[in-house]
Amino acid sequence: MTDASPAPRSVIIERDLPHPAEKIWRALTQDHLIAEWLMQNDFAPVVGHRFTLRADWGAVDCEVVAVEPNRTLSYTWAAYGLGSVVTWTLTPTGSGTHLGLEQSGFRPDQQQAYQGAMAGWPRFLAALEQVVAGLE
């Protein structure tokens, strides 16, 4: 007999930004900049570092699982029963950087969390773009 349960789903968003990867990386990895576009935090870009993202609705417990400066950042994202992984990829282009975001691990019974991520990440990315545009 085979397991017919549906596979976990992912939220995937991609953007082409007119900025170098190094500038975007700063906004993804410096705690004071993360606070401007995502949430208050105690982030450090070190594999194994545990950190918390804090907002008025609660907190997200995270752990850094991969760091490749200016290329890849990945961390766990655990809140309200959701155990997922957020992965950022930065790929240089002729006019800037292709930014990829994937939040993976939404089980079929986590429709509310999945829909929340589908609605939330585009807003966070718009705020990220504003922060990056303001960097020297």
* 4 within domain boundaries: no
Q: Which domain holds residue 102?
A: 24-133
> Is residue 16 one of the residues assigned to a domain?
no
With respect to residue 7, please indicate whether it lies within any of the assigned structural domains.
no
Asked whether residue 3 carries a pLDDT value surpassing 60, the answer given is no
Query: Looking at the 3D structure of the chain, how many domains does it have?
Result: 1
- Whether residue 5 lies inside any domain: the answer is no
Residue 15 lies in a domain: no
Give me the CATH number covering residue 127.
3.30.530.20
Task: Report the C-alpha gap between 108 and 67 in whole angstroms.
Answer: 29
DSSP strand E in the chain: where? Answer: 9-17, 40-41, 50-55, 58-68, 72-79, 82-93, 96-106
Give domain status of residue 13, yes or no: no
How confident is the model at residue 5, as a pLDDT? 67
Residue 126 forms part of a structural domain: yes
For 76-98, the pLDDT digits (tens) are 999 989 999 999 999 999 999 99
- Tell me the mean pLDDT in the region 94-122: 96
pLDDT in tens, 19-70: 999 999 999 999 999 999 999 999 999 999 999 999 998 999 999 999 999 9
The reported pTM is 0.94
Among candidate residues 21, 22, 15, 25, the one with its CA nearest the CA of residue 126 = 15
Does 11 reside within a domain?
no
Q: Label residue 4 by pLDDT band (50, 70, 90).
A: low
